């Protein structure tokens, strides 16, 4: 896959909710959809995919872990797990990172 064909930034948070979110240069929804099965194995519905994407975008926009998960009935811990899994997958792709 040629990653230069993708654009946009994706939010990634560490394990400390008080630390700034890291923005990674890589595709918005297109690569997210490619990585989605590894982020949420077994959740294949479009509704679930949109939910995870909305959570990551909420975190990018400054939402707390609790606020990002609340509309979907997810705990802070589950939101943190989603972000941690996504961050791990991104590190395997070796994307350059910069802090916001």
pLDDT digits (tens, 9 = 90+) for 39-65: 666 666 677 777 888 888 888 788 999
Is 27 buried (19+), middle (13-18) or exposed (0-12) by CB count in 10 A? buried
- The residue whose two tokens read 């590190």 is 91
Q: Are 33 and 49 in contact (CB under 8 A)?
A: yes
Q: Give pLDDT, residue 70.
A: 94
Distance CA 41, CA 20 (A): 27
Distance CA 93, CA 25 (A): 11
Task: Check whether 90 has a pLDDT greater than 50.
Answer: yes
Per residue in 14-43, pLDDT tens? 555 565 555 555 445 666 666 666 666 666
The model's pTM is 0.54
Partnered with residue 10 across adjacent β-strands are 24
Q: Give pLDDT, residue 56.
A: 82
Helix 29-39 vs helix 46-60: crossing angle, to nearest 10:
110
77 band by pLDDT with thresholds 50, 70 and 90? very high
Q: How many secondary structure helices (H) and strands (E) does the chain include?
A: 4, 3
């Amino acid at each position: 896959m040629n990653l230069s064909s993708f654009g946009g930034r994706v939010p990634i948070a560490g394990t400390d909710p008080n630390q700034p979110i890291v923005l990674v240069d890589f595709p918005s929804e297109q690569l997210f959809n490619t990585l989605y099965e590894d982020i949420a194995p077994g959740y294949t519905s479009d509704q679930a995919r949109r939910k995870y994407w909305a959570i990551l975008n909420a975190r990018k926009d400054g939402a707390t872990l609790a606020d990002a998960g609340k509309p979907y009935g997810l705990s802070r811990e589950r939101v943190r797990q989603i972000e941690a899994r996504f961050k791990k997958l991104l590190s395997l792709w070796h994307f350059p990172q910069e802090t916001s």
